[in-house]
Amino acid sequence: MLIAGKELTLETGRIAKQANGAVFAQYEGSVVIATACCSEGAVSGLDYVPVTVDYNEKYYAAGKIPGGFIKREGRPKDKEILVSRLIDRPMRPLFEKSFGREIQIVPTTLSTDQVNPPDMLAIIAASAAVHISDIPFNGPIAGVRVCQVDGELIVNPTYSDIERSTLEIVVAGSKGGITMVEGGAKEVSEEVMIEALEKAHKVIIEFCELQEKLRSLAGKEKLPLTESDDTLQNADAIRSTTFSKLQEACFKNSKQTRHVAIHQVKDDLKTQYADQLADETQAKLFDALFENLQYEILRSSILDHGKRVDGRGTEDIRDIACEINVLPRTHGSALFTRGETQSLAVTTLGTVMDEQVYDDIDGDKREHFILHYNFPPYSVGEVGRLGTGRREIGHGNLARRSLEAMIPSKENFPYTIRVVSEVMESNGSSSMATVCGGTLSLLNAGVPMKKPVAGIAMGLITDGDRYAVLSDILGEEDHLGDMDFKVAGTEDGITGFQMDIKIAGLKIEIMRKALEQAKRGRLHILSIMNQTISKPAPDISEFAPKIVTMKIDVDKIGALIGPGGKNIKALCEQHHVTINTENDGTVTIYGKNPADADEAKLAVTGIVSDPEVGRIYNGVVRRITEYGAFVEILPGKEGLAHISKLSREHVASVTDILHENQEIPVKLMEIDKMGRINLSYIDAIDPDGERKPSASGGNSGGNFGGRPHHGGDRPRGDRPPRRF
């Protein structure tokens, strides 16, 4: 099959033949093998699908050996976890709970040409491996990446296309419709997003047909489902007893109140039917009926009456509160609260040494914007282990992509920026609260964002041809609804996008309505955020490092660094700064306070500057001879102030006027043909007793490396050793 003029092939029966299903997929120089296996024993009555996706990349795929001390691939990298989620989310709803067996899907990247990303190949290979296997699956599905480059939508773009794109989304789905979308953009319109989705689905249909063709040639007979004949005793009586009480409990005014009321109804029923529910099977069937009743009550209320569990209409957004300067010593902080969802976002500014470095098969890269999302168990009133799981990595990546397009470049703001979102409460879309809180904290830290960004989570309830799109969904609406659709952006366009569908597919007209409704909600949230802070703080925090950048001639880099880094190390030590040089002549100075950074900049300027005739310098007397004094006017650059140039009066001895290490103003009178510098000592005190202004660029300490210029055959004498 040809995609973008390149051939995609799917092969089975040659490799990994003991797996339930295995597919070897190749697209140009990228190769992925995906395997699917299931456990032998089935467990009846499961209320979830025990499926695991473990995407992994081998360094040998790119001809690399893992960096670091350990040379074996270890725990999954964030990228591998994110790709695993891209595969898991569209496939999970298509497995049958009644299958009752554990399922493991392992896509492995074996080769990459570092031109064509292998992740989309992994989605197709994973679906094909399950589709041809004996594991029951209501697929196939496929994934495709779409980018907008120079105004044109490109399917399956290369890495270079992705770097130049204004829109990058991954779309997954079946022949029936789209089931998953994730990506980022640079303020694209809703119309462009719809066009990209339509184009993606056409290619998805082709990929699915290719998998169906492979199954017709090599597919296995599907294993049976674990059907159960068990029925809940007294189901009608339980339903009639429960419905009105549960309906009342489901519409309490807060999450905790609803939770308590619903559990009270359930506990009362368990007590009433204690003998029956002592049987484990009957207890499971009772739990399933109770959840189905909640499902029915919530959905019918929305579709029939337009009323949600907290009393809102379909487009209403919960109350929002924004605060900044929440923490006293951080560089920027904000507390964003929307209903019962709350994010404490903290921004920290660092140096180039704090950048995130990635070493993977796509090639080494660095990022100066980092976002970490934490979801502690107390945010939902539970007890649990602290840690970073797939959920935290996935939600953090969505929030990072949503903000990234509005983050200034390193050239405009030479800081490494880290945002951490601590979710303090959660009842619906903490990732979008992270986007809003992150924007507030970035602006509070003085980061010159191009525009503020806000995010909103949308939901969907369907019943045949009837549907309702919900703005700012609650946790219950996410759990019992048909869609979780997150959109982030500025007032002018979309920057972040994620959608998961629990039904077979989503029609484009519903997607269009959801996007339009999401835009209205996003603008509402932005208007509230802007009342708290709409522009970057004029100054960064006093606790943040001071960063100064400057450009020097490329041929001066060696003089700045010095032999073995001697000069630059001495500068760093003396001024308590860190200095970074780049090949294009960019010099970045990082200081703990502004004075250190500014003094270091003057010193660097001195090292890379050439002496100018007629300019006045604040020099330091380094050596005295009988015929004059050698004065250091710039780090490593000395000239001679002849005894005749020290005073208008006769001078018997140089030491009558000067002494070593004395700071004096001198004027550069001449640079002769041999490059020797001739200086004249001038009176730097005006009649009022104040020092006259002199040229900057010198350094009073003079502790810099570099060979001093003594000039011609003048006696050099003995020089004391310098300390660095």
Question: For residue 337, is pLDDT > 60?
Answer: yes
Selected residue with higher pLDDT from 371 and 717: 371
Mean pLDDT for 614-620 is 87
Q: Count the helices and strands in the chain (H runs, E runs).
A: 15, 30
- pLDDT, residue 721, reads 37
Mean pLDDT for 372-379 is 95
Question: For residue 210, is pLDDT > 70?
Answer: yes
- The superfamily (CATH) of domain 2-218 is GHMP Kinase, N-terminal domain (3.30.230.70)
Question: For residue 24, is pLDDT > 80?
Answer: yes
CA distance 127 to 1: 17
Mean pLDDT for 94-105 is 93
Pairing of strands 177-188, 369-374: unpaired
- pLDDT, residue 358, reads 82
**Which position has the token pair 């674990």?**
226
- pLDDT, residue 615, reads 87
Q: Which of 115-119, 201-205, 549-553, 681-685 has the lowest mean pLDDT?
A: 681-685
CA distance 72 to 66: 7
Selected residue with higher pLDDT from 710 and 134: 134
> Computed from CA positions of residues 157, 178, 295, 138, in that sequence, does the dihedral angle turn out positive or negative?
negative
Question: For residue 502, is pLDDT > 50?
Answer: yes
- Predicted confidence band at 709 (pLDDT cuts at 50, 70, 90)? very low
- pLDDT, residue 398, reads 95
Partnered with residue 681 across adjacent β-strands are 666
CA dihedral defined by 496, 500, 504, 508, rounded to 10 degrees?
A: -20
Closest by CA to 494, choosing from 181, 48, 74, 55, is 181
Euclidean distance between the first and the last CA atom of the chain, given in angstroms as a whole number? 66
Mean pLDDT for 316-332 is 96
- Predicted confidence band at 716 (pLDDT cuts at 50, 70, 90)? very low
- Predicted confidence band at 546 (pLDDT cuts at 50, 70, 90)? confident
pLDDT in tens, 395-409: 999 999 999 999 999
CA distance 668 to 639: 8
Instruction: Give me the chain's average pLDDT, please.
Output: 88
| b/e sequence 500-514, b meaning 16+ C-beta within 10 Å | bbbeeebeeebbebb
pLDDT in tens, 584-600: 888 888 888 888 888 88
Question: For residue 15, is pLDDT > 90?
Answer: yes
Distance of CA 121 to the CA centre of its chain: 23
Domain range 320-532, its CATH number among 2.30.30.100, 1.10.10.10, 3.40.1190.10, 3.30.230.70: 3.30.230.70
Domain boundaries, the chain: 2-218, 235-305, 320-532, 545-608, 612-724
> Under DSSP, is residue 546 helix (H, G, I), strand (E, B) or coil?
strand
CA distance 724 to 721: 10
- Predicted confidence band at 693 (pLDDT cuts at 50, 70, 90)? very low
Does residue 283 come out as left (phi exceeding 0), alpha (psi in the -120 to 50 range) or beta? alpha
Question: For residue 271, is pLDDT > 60?
Answer: yes
**Secondary-structure breakdown of the chain: helix, strand, coil percentages, each rounded to the nearest 5:** 35, 30, 40
- pLDDT-above-70 percentage for the chain: 94
> Under DSSP, is residue 589 helix (H, G, I), strand (E, B) or coil?
strand
What residue type is 16 in one-letter code?
A
Selected residue with higher pLDDT from 221 and 694: 221
- pLDDT, residue 682, reads 80
- The superfamily (CATH) of domain 612-724 is Nucleic acid-binding proteins (2.40.50.140)
Partnered with residue 152 across adjacent β-strands are 149
- pLDDT, residue 362, reads 77
| CATH topology agreement for domains 2-218 and 320-532 | yes
- pLDDT-above-90 percentage for the chain: 57
- Predicted confidence band at 698 (pLDDT cuts at 50, 70, 90)? very low
- Predicted confidence band at 504 (pLDDT cuts at 50, 70, 90)? low
- Predicted confidence band at 683 (pLDDT cuts at 50, 70, 90)? low
Tell me, which fold does domain 545-608 have in CATH? Answer: Ribosomal Protein S8; Chain: A, domain 1 (3.30.1370)
Question: For residue 602, is pLDDT > 90?
Answer: no
DSSP state letters, 221-260: PPPPP-------TTHHHHHHHHHHHHHHHTT-SSHHHHHH
Closest by CA to 273, choosing from 259, 260, 291, 287, is 287
Question: Does the pTM of the predicted model rise above 0.85?
Answer: no
CA distance 610 to 671: 11
- pLDDT, residue 22, reads 97
Question: For residue 713, is pLDDT > 60?
Answer: no
- pLDDT, residue 702, reads 37
- pLDDT, residue 125, reads 97
> DSSP code of 711?
-
- Predicted confidence band at 705 (pLDDT cuts at 50, 70, 90)? very low
Mean pLDDT for 333-354 is 94
pLDDT in tens, 44-92: 777 788 999 999 999 999 999 988 788 898 889 999 999 999 999 999 9
Mean pLDDT for 629-640 is 85
Selected residue with higher pLDDT from 503 and 387: 387
